[in-house]
């Protein structure tokens, strides 16, 4: 019996991509059952499908009965993806996108069906049961800690859609990622080298940016003990993240620094002509990851695993000015004359981040398949060191673009040492009939977590070296606090008959926020009252196997997403700085988000694959969304979090996975997703009603094909599309961004082609060449550019 599981990517691009997908589906649906050597190949029916592989996903059995699950294996990653980070392994799964603005971006937010590219706390990422999601906050600054997992470690990645299982917290409303890493059964050695390069051209930037990635791992199994030790080194320079711009001037006169050249004029997303004067945020990041895992088998069914991970990152973000004076000197800022008009140019910023994070995890698991099984997952993540230094630079011809320049002014340092989280999960399974065929499978468990925020901002001493041991001055702001959640859950999977299966359960949670405090250096320290909230989240799913070829599933689930410690207690962003005395609070009274989700799924098992169609919806109450307020404090712009009363999202997703599609050796997958997300109620600001939830694209598409010419050579091509997205809450009539596909405050559409060729030689060696963004599509995410055409060359050794 052949077990076919499959899934893949996101999809839609006008009529073309849907036509291609429709043709693929129609041909696959009406294909005859394949006969090999006179024996009919049967497809094992299962509500779960995992992308084209015969291995089971790293997902509990009764989760696969409640939720749509997609996946990708290490083999598929190796053959079809130019992946030098673990985040890149997800890019072709349906309705999934990682906001990796450049390779190695530490702010790579996971985006799924109905969560935005700045809502990091609405999805959850695990690696072998360890939490990688940074649930300290809910924005682009709180991406999963992808760097804790090297791409060479990955055995498979599984994605679960929706809050339909009681085993996971309310953050799962957007989706769940389970990364499974490798563990050796015999002596193994793995090594690899990747080099990559992109040429980026925009405004006054016309440069090549280079990167390299090296990895090595060694492991073995001796008796009941197995271990794996690995190191991963990454070094890359990304393209500029922002560009300094000045609204067009309207008056003449004499600029204090004289006439300068090099400014570039363009029309921004609001159709306003603007001058660009500099490239900002050119990040040179060096990341090192060391990992050690050791496992001990107490018996064939009981294993203990300990993991120690250390991740080190040094990031320098430099800037280049386009402006030069008559003497050929580079001018970074100040009063200048451009095209006969006066401008007061703000010097571009520079910054540096030095981080060292530690993760310890312990897993104890029994896997007998009998009457009782259990599992313990405990992990601690600590930001041992997290320092970010920022300086705006100086006016005139100073070396403001030099990160070590002593001329940098207005320097600050943010110290977040000691921030982190702890998680503990105690899980159990009870099967009354004594095996996996039990009519009932009862899952139950206890969860507790704690998130601690420690952040303080200081001035740097004027005139000192920006990097290194530059001393700190007066404190300008601080934020402190912690949250804690305790949960009990129970879920039963009841096989009512050979065709019907009911899964029902619930999750009871108690959430507390304590020790909250902050200030902005101009007023007294604000101390916030402790808070506690209780919530119950019911779940139910009904599966029906209509025939050997058709499966149907309907699922309903409530997910409660509690405010993060950063949303509650971090300082508001107030411009211009400094904020008035006493204005240091964010929103400590935020209500939890509550999501009511429904999904109806129909799966058609094919002779060589699977076709899935899912209709999904979610009603979100008290949605926590970042907004900009200019009315509360006249003369200032305040950026913070608010509760929006109700957001309704509906969507449709179709996905096809086919092996040996059309011709032998060709594996094809494709998906298309349509989503409509609308604010339907908001008493605090009724003008928002009827507008779109920010950063949810209406259409997504992916198409992917890998052709195996023979056992040694494979060729792959992948396509990704997304429609444009609204950036933030807006209440005006009409389109606030009439020119959405240019640099600026917009999330533009994109249409990207990636290719790869992999060749295996000398049995243990493989080499690959690939190109991401083959057509050199230029696209943006408010306002940061994504990479342009990027070349990859890789060499790997696997023993």
Encode pLDDT of 35-84 as tens digits.
333 333 333 333 333 333 334 566 776 677 888 999 999 999 999 999 99
Task: Tell me what pLDDT residue 526 has.
Answer: 81
Residue pointed to by tokens 């006439």: 259
Return the ∠ at Cα 22 (arms to 17 and 23), rounded to 5°: 100
* 589 Cβ neighbours under 8 A, 6+ residues apart: none
Q: Beta strand pairing status for 176-181 and 154-161? A: antiparallel
Tell me, what's the pLDDT at 334? 85
d(CA 535, CA 484): 14
| Model pLDDT, residue 81 | 95
pLDDT at 57: 65
Instruction: Give 672-709 pLDDT, tens digit per residue.
Output: 999 999 999 988 788 888 888 888 999 999 999 999 99
Cis before 783? omega within 30: yes
Residue 297 neighbours by CB distance under 10 Å:
15
Task: Out of 10-24, 143-157, 190-204, 768-782, pick the least confident.
Answer: 10-24
Q: Rounded mean pLDDT of 463-486?
A: 75
Residue 205 φ then ψ, to 5° = -95, 130
CA distance linking residue 289 with residue 309, whole number of Å: 7
Give burial (CB, 10 Å; 0-12/13-18/19+) of 286: middle
Asked whether the beta carbons of 452 and 419 are under 8 A apart, the reply is yes
CA distance 165 to 171: 12
pLDDT band at 247 (very low <50, low <70, confident <90, very high): confident
Helix (H, G, I), strand (E, B) or coil at 521: coil
Specify the pLDDT at position 746. 83
The residue whose two tokens read 């320097």 is 411
- Cβ–Cβ < 8 Å for 761, 731: no
> Encoding tokens for residue 245?
């711009």
Contacts of 388 (CB under 8 A, 6+ apart): 351, 352, 353, 413, 414, 416
pLDDT-derived band at 464 (thresholds 50, 70, 90) equals low
β-bridge mates for residue 658, sequence order:
609, 668
What percent of the chain shows pLDDT beyond 90?
Answer: 64
Give residue 452's pLDDT band: very low, low, confident or very high (50, 70, 90): very high
Beta strands per DSSP E along 528-592:
531-545, 550-561, 573-575
Taking 90 as the threshold, does the pLDDT of residue 739 lie above it?
Answer: no
| Mean pLDDT, rounded, of the chain | 85
- First CA to last CA distance, the chain: 30
What does the alpha-carbon distance between residue 56 and residue 665 come to, in Å, rounded to a whole number? 23
Joined together, the tokens standing for residue 18 give: 């849907």
Pairing of strands 176-181, 124-127: parallel
Give the CA radius of gyration of the chain: 27
Q: pLDDT digits over 713-726, tens only? A: 999 999 999 998 88
Count CA atoms closer than 13 A to 91's CA, side-chain side.
Answer: 27
Model confidence band, residue 489 (pLDDT cutoffs 50, 70, 90): very high
More confident residue, 739 or 43: 739
Matching residue, tokens 């280049």: 320
Q: Are 100 and 85 in contact (CB under 8 A)?
A: yes
CA 561 – CA 546 distance, rounded (Å): 35
pLDDT digits (tens, 9 = 90+) for 529-566: 999 999 999 999 999 999 999 999 999 999 999 999 98
- Residues 359-399 pLDDT 10s: 999 999 999 999 999 999 999 999 999 999 888 776 666 55
Whole-number Å distance between alpha carbons of 673 and 605:
20
The per-residue pLDDT for range 71-117, each reduced to its tens digit, is 999 999 999 999 999 999 999 999 999 999 999 999 999 999 988 88
Q: Is the pLDDT of residue 242 over 90?
A: yes
Q: pLDDT, tens digit, for every residue of 148-177?
A: 999 989 999 999 999 999 999 999 999 999
Q: Give the chain's length.
A: 799
Mean pLDDT (whole number) for 743-757 = 93
Q: What is the mean pLDDT of residues 445-454?
A: 96
Extended beta strands in 251-329, E state: 260-261, 264-267, 273-299, 302-321, 324-325
- What's residue 469's pLDDT? 56
Give residue-wise pLDDT tens across range 267-313.
988 888 899 999 999 999 999 999 999 999 999 999 999 999 999 99
Q: CA 791: distance to chain centroid? A: 23
This prediction has a pTM of 0.88
Assign 462 a pLDDT band (cuts: 50, 70, 90).
low
pLDDT at residue 688 in the model: 85
β-bridge partners, 472: 460
Give the pLDDT confidence score for residue 727 in this predicted structure. 82
Residue of 5 and 226 predicted with greater confidence? 226
Q: What does DSSP assign to residue 42? A: P
CA separation for the pair 433, 435 (Å, rounded): 6
338 versus 48: the higher-pLDDT residue is 338
What pLDDT does 306 receive?
Answer: 97
CA distance 88 to 90: 5
With contact defined as beta carbons under 8 Å apart, do 27 and 70 qualify? Answer: no
User: CA-CA distance, 284 to 209, in Å (whole number)?
Assistant: 10
The pLDDT assigned to 322 comes to 94
State residue 640's pLDDT score.
Answer: 75
Three-state DSSP at 118 gives: coil
CA 705 to chain centre: 24
HSE-up (13 A, CA, CB side) for residue 411: 28
Spatial distance between the Cα atoms of 20 and 308, rounded to a whole number of angstroms: 46
Inform me whether the pLDDT recorded for 473 exceeds 80.
no
């Amino acid at each position: 019996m052949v077990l076919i599981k499959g899934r893949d990517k996101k999809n839609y691009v006008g009529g073309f991509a849907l036509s291609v997908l429709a043709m693929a589906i129609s041909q696959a649906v009406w294909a005859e059952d394949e006969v090999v050597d006179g024996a009919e190949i049967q497809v094992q029916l299962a509500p779960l499908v995992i992308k084209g592989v015969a291995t089971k996903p790293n997902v509990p059995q009764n989760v696969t009965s409640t939720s749509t699950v997609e996946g990708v294996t290490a083999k598929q990653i190796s053959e079809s993806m130019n992946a030098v980070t673990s985040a890149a392994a997800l890019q072709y799964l349906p309705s999934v996108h990682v906001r990796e603005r450049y390779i190695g971006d530490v702010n790579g937010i996971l985006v799924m069906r109905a969560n935005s590219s700045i809502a990091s706390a609405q999805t959850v990422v695990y690696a072998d049961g360890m939490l990688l999601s940074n649930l300290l906050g809910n924005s682009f600054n709180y991406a999963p800690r992808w760097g804790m997992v090297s791409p060479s470690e990955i055995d498979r990645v599984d994605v679960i859609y929706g809050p339909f299982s009681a085993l996971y917290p309310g953050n799962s409303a957007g989706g769940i990622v389970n990364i499974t890493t490798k563990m050796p059964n015999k002596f193994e050695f793995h090594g690899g080298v990747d080099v990559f390069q992109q040429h980026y051209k925009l405004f006054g930037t016309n440069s090549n940016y280079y990167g390299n990635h090296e990895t090595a791992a060694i492991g073995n199994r001796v008796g009941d003990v197995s271990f794996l030790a690995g190191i991963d080194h990454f070094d890359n320079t990304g393209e500029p993240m922002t560009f300094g711009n000045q609204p067009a001037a309207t008056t003449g006169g004499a600029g204090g620094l004289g006439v300068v050249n090099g400014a570039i004029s363009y029309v921004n997303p609001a159709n306003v002509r603007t001058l660009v004067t500099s490239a900002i945020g050119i990040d040179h990041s060096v990341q090192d990851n060391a990992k050690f895992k050791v496992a001990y088998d107490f018996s064939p069914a009981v294993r203990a695993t300990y993991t120690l991970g250390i991740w080190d990152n040094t990031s320098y973000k430099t800037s280049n000015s386009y402006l030069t004076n008559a003497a050929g000197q580079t001018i970074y800022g100040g009063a200048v004359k451009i095209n006969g008009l006066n401008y007061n140019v703000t010097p571009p910023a520079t910054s540096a981040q030095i981080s060292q994070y530690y993760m310890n995890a312990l897993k104890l698991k029994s896997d007998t398949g009998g009457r009782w099984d259990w599992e313990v997952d405990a992990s601690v993540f600590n930001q041992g060191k997290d320092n970010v230094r920022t300086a705006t630079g100086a006016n005139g011809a100073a070396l403001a673009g030099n990160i070590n320049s002593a001329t940098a002014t207005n320097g600050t340092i943010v110290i977040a040492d000691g921030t982190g989280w702890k998680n503990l999960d105690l899980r159990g399974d009870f099967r009354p009939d004594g095996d996996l065929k039990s009519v009932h499978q009862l899952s139950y468990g206890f969860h507790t977590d704690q998130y601690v925020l420690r952040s303080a901002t200081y001035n740097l001493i004027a005139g000192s070296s920006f990097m290194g041991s530059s001393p700190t001055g007066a404190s300008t702001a601080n934020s402190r606090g912690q949250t804690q959640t305790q949960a009990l859950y129970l879920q039963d999977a009841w096989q009512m008959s050979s065709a019907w299966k009911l899964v029902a359960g619930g999750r009871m949670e108690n959430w507390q926020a304590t020790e909250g405090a902050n200030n902005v250096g101009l007023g007294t320290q604000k101390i916030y009252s402790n808070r506690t909230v209780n919530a119950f989240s019911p779940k139910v799913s009904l599966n029906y196997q209509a025939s050997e070829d058709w499966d149907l599933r309907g699922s309903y689930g409530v997910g409660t997403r509690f405010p993060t410690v950063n949303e509650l207690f971090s300082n508001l962003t107030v411009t211009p700085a400094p904020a008035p005395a006493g204005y240091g609070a964010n929103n400590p009274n935020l209500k939890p988000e509550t999501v009511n989700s429904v999904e109806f799924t129909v799966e058609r098992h094919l002779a060589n694959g699977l076709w899935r169609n899912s209709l999904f919806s979610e009603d979100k109450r008290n949605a926590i969304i970042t907004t900009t307020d200019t009315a509360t404090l006249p003369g200032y712009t305040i950026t913070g979090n608010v509760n929006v009363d109700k957001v309704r999202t509906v969507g449709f997703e179709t996905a096809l996975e086919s092996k040996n599609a059309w011709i032998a050796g060709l594996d094809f997958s494709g998906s298309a997703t349509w989503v409509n997300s609308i604010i339907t109620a908001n008493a605090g600001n009724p003008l928002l009603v009827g507008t779109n939830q920010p950063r949810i694209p209406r259409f997504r598409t992916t198409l992917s094909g890998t052709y195996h010419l023979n056992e040694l050579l494979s060729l792959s091509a992948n396509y990704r599309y997304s429609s444009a997205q609204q950036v933030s809450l807006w209440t005006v009539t009409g389109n606030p961004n009439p020119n959405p596909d240019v640099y600026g405050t917009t999330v533009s559409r994109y249409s990207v082609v990636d290719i790869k060729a992999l060749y295996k030689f000398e049995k243990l060696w493989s080499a690959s060449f690939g190109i991401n963004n083959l057509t050199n599509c230029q696209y943006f995410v408010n306002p940061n550019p994504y990479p342009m055409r990027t070349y990859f060359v890789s060499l790997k050794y696997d023993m």
